[in-house]
Structure formats: structure tokens, C-alpha cells
Amino acid sequence: MQTGYEIAKEHYQKTLDEIFRYSGTSHERVMSGPQGAEIVVDGKPALNFSTNDYLGMCNNEKVKEGAAEAMKTHGFGVGSVRLMSGTQDLHKQLEKELATFLGTEDCILFSSCFDANGAVFDVLLSDKDAILSDELNHASLIDGIRLCKAKRLRYKHLDMKDLERALIEAKGCQVKLIATDSVFSMDGDVAPLPEIVALARKYGAMVLIDESHATGVLGKHGKGAIEHFNLMGQIDIITSTLGKALGGGTGGLICSTKLLVTLLRAKGRPYVFSNAIAPPIIGGTLAALKNIQEHPECVQKVQANTAYFRKKMLEVTGFKLAGNPDSAICPAILKDEKLALDVAERLLDHGIHVMPVRYPVVPKGLARIRITITAAHSFEHLDKFIAAFKTVTEGKLDAIKAAPVPAK
């Protein structure tokens, strides 16, 4: 007789085969040594264009010292959730400093931004309420929204007319919450926050933004899209990650009013029922945050690198990268899945590490290589990427541009 697993296995194998047949197989490349602009991946030295370590903090000496010192003084782990015996003075210090940095009354930490986004909607919204969500929001926002009972209204990506349509549809709901990535992780688009805030005011809605790819990257001091758009103090709820520009460790945050943060501490399930962040991560993040504030030039460097890269890529290759000009996420949309895989593999032969992103992560026919620019890149690194991209896509770019964009 077949076991339960043997019965189920065929189904799982078919699902996996379907994904691989469509998108081609690829493997997770293995890095030996630390994160950075120059890495060793699958045993080969390469320039790294596939990291969200936007400020080059992952292997920063001060960040590592901060982590080591915290481990020495506060131990390796806490072995507890925050509400039992998991809260150390370091957690409180980081929450306070993040709230000050982002200009909000309070801050609450989670094990990841995925958890922060998983917690927030269920706590704040009931079946009397409505959530208005950009259709291309990050998976963690989508999953968090699935966990709450509010009416779900999706609006077309960045489409303010459609958001207004959804706000009108939400009339009569008690609480209305607009939720959007500020910088979209696969497309590099930036949400039009001033318009979103204006619509929120007009229709009595709150606004939540996920700043995971904006914190440390946008704004003169790296405070994110809120600073870039001069909206400090005007966004009701900010979620972000500690796993990218803020040291690249792990962890997530929600910055908001005291009232909402206190409610999240009481009812946010991933906060109440999951372990506190380990002391070395907190110590390293505190050092990264200090570093950003003492050296805002690292923020200016990622911004200057992004501008240089986008401009030069167009000049040299004639290929326009997707996304907002201010976004350090610079996708090269190649459309065809196998081509994206092939280009990424050939780039590695030229000493460039960049990964193809294909279905099911992005829609079919919109495969891309997702290029990220960091403060750790030099102009020479950027020029090397552009030269390699030109070589490996020689003779292919016109066909890529002419290929139709799939209907939604």
C-alpha cells in the first residue's frame, strides 16, 4: 500500500516540473565569504549586482564590532518571546532610535518584515473595514492582508484613478487603510506617495507603506520615501526591514503612533508568539543605524551610483532599465524566461553575479535580471557590468524590445 507521502509525491513533482519546464531550472548560487560588491560565488570571483545590502553594511567593521560587543554583553540569544523574558535593553534602545530616525512616536520590532506585514492587518482591521492594496505589493503584504477579515480592494499598480475608484467603493467601511510598497522590489517602481496621501485625506483613509527598499536608500539622510517626498510625520504606519540597508541582518519594524504600536505589542501574533531578535543582530543594527546618521555620504553614494548606472547603461547599450530613476533596483526586463536564465549565466562567465527572476516570482513573459546598485560599488564596477551586459546581449536587444508584453 502506498504511504501518504507516496500518494502526494506525484502531485508535488508535477507542480515542480511545470515550474521548471516553463522557467528553466537554476540553482541557488553559493557565496563563500561575506556579502559585498566583490564576492566569491560558486567558487568564482564576481562583482555582485544581486544584493540588497544597499549601503555596504553587511561586512562593515563597525557593524561587526557592534554585533560582537552585543554578543559579549548580552549573549548569543534570548530563548524567549519578547513578552516573557525576551526583551533586553538593547531591543528598547533600537526601537527608540528607529522611531526617532523615522520621525514617529514609537516602533516595534519583529523577527522579519515579513512578520511585521503578517501582523499588522489582522490587528488593525476587522470585517467592518477595508484594505486598499496595490496589485503588485510584496508577497508579505499580500499574505498579511489574507490573514485579516477586512474587505479587500486591489487597485491597479500605481494607478491613482483606480485607487480613487476603490476608495469610493470602500465608502461606508469603518476603517480604510491604503497599503503599498514605497519601492517595489521586483520592478523598482516608486509609489506616488503625495497623491496617495492626498487621496487618503480626501476619503478619510489611513496609509501604510512598506519602506524595505527605501530605508537607507531614498531621501537625503536615508530615511526613505517619506523623506524623499517630504512626508515625514504624514504616513500612519511604516513597515521596513533590518535585512537590507540597515546592516543586512534580520528583522523587521513597524513605526507608528504609540497607540498603534502598543496594540501591536498586545495582539500582533508574530510578536507575541515568536522569539525575540538575537542580541548580536540588534547590536549590529544599532551600529549600522549610527553609521548611516554619522555618514550620510553612504546614502548619497548609492544615489549617485544609481543615477550614473541608469544613464550610462542607456548610453552604452541603448537598453532602458525599468523602474523609477531614483530606485536602486534596476530591472532589465528581458521578457523570455530562458533568455533571462541564459543572460545571467553568461554574465557570471564575465565575472558578474546577477540573478534571473522568472515565473512564478514575476508573471509569465516578464522575466528579468534584477540588478541592484549599492554604495559599495565603484564607477569601475558599474562600467564592468555595462560592458559585460553589452557583450552577452549582443544582437538580442532589438528582439527583446519588440517582444510583446503579456496581457494581464
Nearer to ligand PLP, 114 or 389 (CB): 114
274 flagged as catalytic: no
Q: Is 158 in the site for ligand PLP (CB under 6 A)?
A: no
| Contact pattern from residue 69 through residue 108 relative to ligand PLP, giving x for each residue in contact according to CB under 6 A and a dash for the rest | ----------------------------------------
**Closest distance of CB 224 from ligand PLP, Å:** 12
Which of 23, 48, 51, 112: binder of ligand PLP (CB under 6 A)? Answer: 112
Which amino acid does the sequence have at 296? P
Q: Do the Cβ atoms of 216 and 72 come closer than 8 Å?
A: no
Nearer to ligand PLP, 200 or 208 (CB): 208
Q: Of residues 114, 121, 229, 385, which one binds ligand PLP by CB under 6 A?
A: 114
Known catalytic residue at 138: no
What does residue 77 show for φ and ψ, rounded to 5 degrees? -140, 180
| 69 Cβ contact list (under 8 Å, min separation 6) | 283
* Interacting positions 248-277 with ligand PLP (CB under 6 A): 252
Active-site annotation holder among 91, 151, 176, 213: 213
Q: Say which residue the cell 513605526 belongs to.
A: 255
C-alpha dist (Å) from residue 28 to 31, 42, 43, 356, 407: 9, 9, 13, 11, 30
Q: Closer to ligand PLP at the Cβ: 184 or 309?
A: 184
Residue 51 makes contact with ligand PLP by CB under 6 A: no
Least distance between ligand PLP and beta carbon 383 (Å): 28
- For residues 213-242, which are near ligand PLP according to CB under 6 A? 213, 241
From the list 88, 104, 180, 212, which residue makes contact with ligand PLP (rule: CB under 6 A)? 212
Query: According to the binding rule CB under 6 A, does residue 138 interact with ligand PLP?
Result: yes
CB of 112 to ligand PLP, least distance (A): 3
Q: Of residues 51, 104, 133, 185, which one binds ligand PLP by CB under 6 A?
A: 185
**β partners of residue 130:** 151, 176
34-67 in b/e form (b: 16+ CB < 10 A) is ebbbebbbeeeebbbbbbbbbbbbbbbebbbebb
Smallest separation (angstroms) from ligand PLP to the CB of 114:
3
Residue 272 Rama label (left phi>0; alpha psi -120 to 50; beta): alpha
Q: Which residue has the cell 551610483?
A: 305
Other C-beta atoms within 10 Å of 195: how many? 14
* Marked catalytic residue, from 91, 176, 244, 353: 244
Residue 393 interacts with ligand PLP (CB under 6 A): yes or no: no
Among 57, 90, 113, 289, binds ligand PLP (CB under 6 A): 113
- Which of 181, 187, 236, 326 lies at the binding interface for ligand PLP (CB under 6 A)? 181
* The residue to which cell 507516496 is assigned: 6
| Cα–Cα distance measured from residue 314 to residue 323, given in angstroms and rounded to the nearest whole number | 13
User: Which distant-in-sequence residues (6+ apart) come within 8 Å of 360 by Cβ?
Assistant: 19, 23
* Angle, vertex CA 202, rays to CA 198 and CA 203, nearest 5: 120
Task: Look up 301 and say whether it is catalytic.
Answer: no
Rounded least distance, CB 225 to ligand PLP, Å: 12
Measured distance CA(97)–CA(89) in Å, rounded? 12
- Output the CA torsion 28→30→36→37 (10° steps): -70
Size of the site for ligand PLP (CB under 6 A): 14
Among 182, 191, 187, 296, CA closest to 241: 182
CB nearer ligand PLP, residue 185 or residue 324 = 185
Q: In this chain, which stretch among 31-39, 112-120, 191-199, 400-408 interacts with ligand PLP, using CB under 6 A?
A: 112-120
- 140 contributes a contact to ligand PLP by CB under 6 A: yes
According to DSSP, residue 250 is labeled: S
Burial label, 400 (beta-carbon count in 10 A; 0-12, 13-18, 19+): middle
Of 213 and 358, CB closest to ligand PLP: 213
Q: What does the binding site for ligand PLP look like in residue numbers (CB under 6 A)?
A: 112-114, 117, 138, 140, 181, 185, 210, 212-213, 241, 243, 252
Residues carrying an active site annotation: 185, 213, 244
